[in-house]
């Protein structure tokens, strides 16, 4: 620690980092100073120290699949290469039998503990489609957690059903939904959303739907997609909104920062973003996430999907404690051509062991399944 202390004393962000080590959370202006600083290595040393104090030298992961149940979408987000318009020759929607087959295969082969269910904003799917799918999974595969539907998908269902988002959440919970992924947040600033996803829900609606989920006992993840048209001020605002909601509800289990991949997207075609931001920015966002959320949101996830296993290993030493999931069957990021590889639990265990950490297999709620 003495070496870290000396470096902190001579750093322009030293006061923020010293406070973090003492358990004092950065203010919004502190967050802006961190964003403007290039002292990523020092942030990482402090964030790594906070993480090891909380978790020791271990990293968790979940054996899961992503069920991209439909690519039909009317939201036309400029950062997405996955969606197809209704009636497109490449559009699809999985039947209940197809969903059951995928879950059964994954359970039989990998003993998965979670199904991450996400798709397009499909105007042809009423709430019964989701209720039937969730009920089937929870009945036939009781050890598999249902982690499903972004806030914007919930909003879409509520508009189709002409009912409130809270009613949709309540019905889905009764059918077997257990937690809500953080997708659809992107950057929680409407001037950014107006550029990258003008037809998607507003920042206030995302926060409201997450608040509603937490209020009825549905925990969630919070995410941030960075590296496109956002400013430092926008990122600070995003962090601030997540902090305020978490202080109110304590409903977020994990925070997941991930970088935008422009390949095959409208944003690339329109020259809004020509290339991704790369590994150093990932490490900075991971370190900042730990420093900002330490003691408030327990888990910070390293994103191997867009950055590769090697970067995810480094991220574990920069403040992440969770490797994420195996993500078998993932189709959304794959459409950008940026997908690293399809991982198995064993590959993640090996990657964790390579950095000298113990590997903790977890369930949907971050409970221990077994140590490896």
Residues of each annotated binding site: 73, 77, 79-80, 150, 186, 303
Give dist(CA 368, CA 372) in Å, integer.
11
- With CA atoms as reference, report the closest residue to 246 among 220, 265, 272: 220
Q: What six digits make up the tokens of 265?
A: 């997207």
For residue 145, the surrounding DSSP H or E stretch is strand 145-148
Contacts (Cβ under 8 Å, ≥6 apart) of 59: 316, 320, 321, 322, 323, 352, 357, 358, 359, 360
For residue 268, the surrounding DSSP H or E stretch is helix 266-269
Beta bridge partners of residue 359, listed in sequence order: 59
- With CA atoms as reference, report the closest residue to 45 among 318, 337, 361: 318
SS (H, E, C) 178-194: CEECCCCCCCCCHHHHH
Between the alpha carbon of residue 341 and those of residues 3, 138, 326, the distances in Å are 38, 29, 10
Q: What six digits make up the tokens of 120?
A: 């397009």
SS3 252: strand
Q: 272, 227 in Cβ contact below 8 A? A: no
Using the Cα atoms of residue 30, residue 35, residue 37 and residue 42 in order, give the sign of their dihedral: positive
Give dist(CA 187, CA 295) in Å, integer.
23
Question: 């600070």: which residue's tokens?
Answer: 236
- With CA atoms as reference, report the closest residue to 319 among 287, 296, 353: 287
**DSSP letter at 93?**
B
- Known binding residues for (3R)-3-methyl-D-ornithine: 150, 303
Contacts (Cβ under 8 Å, ≥6 apart) of 117: 66, 67, 69, 133, 134, 146, 147, 148, 149
- Known binding residues for [4Fe-4S] cluster: 73, 77, 80
- With CA atoms as reference, report the closest residue to 186 among 260, 247, 236: 260
Give dist(CA 186, CA 204) in Å, integer.
13
């Amino acid at each position: 620690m003495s070496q870290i202390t000396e470096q902190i004393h001579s750093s322009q962000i030293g006061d923020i980092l010293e406070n973090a080590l003492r358990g004092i959370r950065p203010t919004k202006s502190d967050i802006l100073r961190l964003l403007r600083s290039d002292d990523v290595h020092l942030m990482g040393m402090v964030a790594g120290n906070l993480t090891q104090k909380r978790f020791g030298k271990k990293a968790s992961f979940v054996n899961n699949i992503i069920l991209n149940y439909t690519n039909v979408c009317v939201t036309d987000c400029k950062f997405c290469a996955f969606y197809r318009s209704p009636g497109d020759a490449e559009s699809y929607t999985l039947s209940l039998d197809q969903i059951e087959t995928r879950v059964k295969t994954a359970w039989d082969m990998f003993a998965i503990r979670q199904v991450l269910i996400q798709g397009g904003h499909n105007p042809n799917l009423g709430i019964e489609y989701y209720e039937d799918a969730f009920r089937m999974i929870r009945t036939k595969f009781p050890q598999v957690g249902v982690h499903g539907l972004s806030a914007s998908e919930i909003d879409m269902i509520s508009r189709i059903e002409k009912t409130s988002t809270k009613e949709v959440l309540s019905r889905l919970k009764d059918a077997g939904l257990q937690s809500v992924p953080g997708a659809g947040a992107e950057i929680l600033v409407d001037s950014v959303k107006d550029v990258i996803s003008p037809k998607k829900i507003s920042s206030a609606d995302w926060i409201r739907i997450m608040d509603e989920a937490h209020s009825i006992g549905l925990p969630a993840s919070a995410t941030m997609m960075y590296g496109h048209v956002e400013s430092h001020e926008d990122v600070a605002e995003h962090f601030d909104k997540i902090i305020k909601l978490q202080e109110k509800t304590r409903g977020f289990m994990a925070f997941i920062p991930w970088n935008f991949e422009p390949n095959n997207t409208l944003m690339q075609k329109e020259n809004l973003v020509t290339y991704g931001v790369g590994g150093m920015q990932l490490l900075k966002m991971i370190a900042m996430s730990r420093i900002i959320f330490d003691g408030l949101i327990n888990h910070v996830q390293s994103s191997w999907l867009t950055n590769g296993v090697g970067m995810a290993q480094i991220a574990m030493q920069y403040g992440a404690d969770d490797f994420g999931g195996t993500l078998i069957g993932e189709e959304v990021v794959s459409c950008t051509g940026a997908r690293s590889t399809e991982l198995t639990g064993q590959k993640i265990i090996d990657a964790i062991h390579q950095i000298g950490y113990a590997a903790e297999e977890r369930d949907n709620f971050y409970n221990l399944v077994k140590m490896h």
